[in-house]
């Protein structure tokens, strides 16, 4: 069953926050800062728009900032701004190009994707089959790095290849020789792609990533206007990256990663699968989980994890299996894209793989925050009230997570 934003909801949002089309240029206003007005007529018009905008803000965002006891300093700043500076219009203003121009980049995995394609439950994610045009995908697939080259660049080893059972290896993409792959990576680490992703996940950002809204507001920018940089250059508060990844051969049936959410400085991740035509292995699906009640995380204590039937090492599995349930699975298929907005609610896993000599291949397109002062608060997202209204912020450094 397809869970997406209803057409009537989209129309209501546009009616609340304002939209217009002018000579092929569209502008959608939705939760960030606009400049202060000086002209009185402009002020009245802006105030009218602001009233509508605040009706929306004090729904999902306002509830998320008020239901969970004492607010943090950052939350107080947001609420005071909306209360005391209505003409400043705390709006998420996205300056869109025409629909055709915006979604037509030939390399984009989000080509033609809109916010209506996002499945909001149990967390914002989307699934796109045949994400890339067939010829483009086949050209990329034909130049996908060999398993051995990924092994050597990931491990730094030069001797005989000795695979760890069902293990994640990734490659430094700067070593890729293919010009097409270089163009693909350059686009998906660009500000243009980040802006496209921000547009697609706008609803989810409003509910579950208030820290991203605050980062934009402090820069007096819209979310799509935030500058980005690759993780190597790190000259921006937003860092983007593309990894070429494989999960190695399986000798003993098991999962490469159990139920978890990604580190909270990550904003989104997009996984594009490159399954070989000859791969007849079983398993390796992307699993989407939902909290039954209040999700409970398990301390990283091997003995406790073994007692619960969990993998005992590291961050492999984070959640008590009694508090979550599997909602859906996305099969590991060639040219299939799974993309999700990361938050404490984004609990996902990889289904167990049967013994096989085949590797599980994909690219991981991602964006995250560098040294963010404000991150989403886990408990507000994981408890029942948080799932109904959204997340609030916690005054934590991302490096501490």
> Which residues have a Cβ under 8 Å from the Cβ of 59 and sit 6 or more positions away?
none
> Which residues have a Cβ under 8 Å from the Cβ of 34 and sit 6 or more positions away?
46, 88, 89, 91, 93
Give the model's confidence band at 311: pLDDT under 50 very low, under 70 low, under 90 confident, else very high.
confident
- Kindly write down the DSSP assignment for every residue of 138-174, as one continuous string: HHHHHTPPPHHHHHHHHH---SS--PPTT-EEEE-GG
Kindly tell me if the per-residue pLDDT of 320 is higher than 50.
yes
The residues that bridge with 288 in the sheet, in sequence order, are 328, 348
Beta-strand pair 93-96/25-29: antiparallel
Q: What is the DSSP letter of 223?
A: G
Helix axes 73-84, 210-218, angle to 10 degrees: 60
Cis-peptide, bond into residue 279, ω within 30° of zero: no
Residue-level pLDDT at 89: 27
pLDDT tens, 226-246? 888 876 666 778 889 999 999
Please state which of the ranges 58-72, 161-175, 177-191, 208-222 shows the lowest mean pLDDT.
Answer: 58-72
Spatial CA neighbour of 367 closest among 255, 156, 146, 209: 209
Rg (CA), the chain: 22
Q: Is pLDDT larger for residue 381 or for residue 41? A: 381
- Kindly write down the DSSP assignment for every residue of 282-301, as one continuous string: ----EEEEEESSS--BPPS-
Residue-level pLDDT at 122: 92
Q: Is pLDDT larger for residue 97 or for residue 19? A: 97
Please state which of the ranges 104-113, 209-218, 251-260, 309-318 shows the lowest mean pLDDT.
Answer: 309-318
Residue-level pLDDT at 212: 86
According to the per-residue pLDDT averaged within each range, which of 124-133, 225-234, 260-269 is highest? Answer: 124-133
Residue-level pLDDT at 362: 98
Spatial CA neighbour of 201 closest among 1, 367, 386: 367
Q: From residue 342, how far is each of 41, 261, 311, 376, 386 by CA, in Å?
A: 41, 7, 23, 10, 15
The residue length of the chain stands at 401
**What region does 314 belong to: left with phi over 0, alpha with psi -120 to 50, or beta?**
left
> Which residues have a Cβ under 8 Å from the Cβ of 96 and sit 6 or more positions away?
25, 26, 27, 28, 102, 199
Residue-level pLDDT at 104: 59
């Amino acid at each position: 069953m397809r869970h997406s934003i209803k057409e009537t909801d989209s129309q209501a949002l546009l009616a609340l926050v304002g939209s217009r089309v002018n000579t092929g240029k569209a502008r959608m206003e939705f939760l960030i800062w606009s400049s202060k007005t000086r002209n009185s007529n402009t002020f009245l018009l802006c105030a009218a728009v602001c009233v509508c905008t605040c009706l929306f803000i004090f729904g999902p965002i306002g509830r998320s900032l008020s239901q969970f006891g004492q607010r943090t300093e950052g939350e107080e700043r947001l609420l005071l701004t909306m209360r005391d500076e209505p003409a400043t219009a705390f709006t998420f203003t996205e300056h869109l190009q025409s629909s055709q121009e915006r979604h037509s980049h030939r390399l984009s995995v989000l080509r033609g994707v809109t916010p209506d394609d996002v499945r909001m439950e149990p967390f914002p994610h989307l699934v796109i089959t045949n994400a890339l045009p067939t010829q483009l995908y086949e050209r990329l697939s034909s130049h996908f790095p060999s398993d051995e080259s990924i092994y050597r660049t990931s491990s730094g080893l030069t001797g005989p290849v000795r695979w760890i059972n069902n293990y994640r290896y990734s490659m430094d993409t700067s070593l890729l020789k293919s010009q097409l792959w270089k163009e693909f990576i350059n686009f998906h680490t660009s500000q243009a792609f980040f802006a496209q992703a921000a547009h697609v996940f706008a609803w989810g950002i409003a509910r579950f990533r208030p820290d991203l809204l605050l980062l934009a507001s402090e820069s007096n920018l819209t979310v799509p206007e935030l500058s980005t940089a690759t993780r190597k250059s790190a000259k921006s508060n937003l860092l983007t990256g593309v990894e070429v990844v494989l999960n190695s051969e399986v000798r003993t049936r098991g999962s490469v990663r159990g139920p978890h959410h990604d580190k909270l400085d990550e904003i989104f991740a997009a996984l594009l699968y490159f399954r070989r035509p000859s791969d007849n292995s079983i398993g390796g699906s992307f699993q989407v989980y939902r909290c039954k009640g209040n999700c409970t995380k398990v301390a990283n204590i091997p003995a406790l994890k073994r007692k619960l039937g969990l993998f005992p090492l590291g961050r492999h599995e984070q959640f008590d299996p009694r508090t979550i349930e599997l909602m859906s699975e996305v099969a590991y298929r060639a040219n299939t894209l799974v993309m999700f907005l990361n938050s404490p609610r984004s609990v996902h896993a990889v289904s167990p793989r049967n013994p096989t000599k085949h590797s599980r291949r994909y690219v991981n397109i991602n964006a995250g925050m560098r040294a963010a002062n404000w991150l989403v608060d886990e408990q507000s997202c994981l408890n029942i009230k948080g799932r109904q209204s959204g997340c609030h912020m916690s005054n934590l450094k991302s490096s501490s997570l």
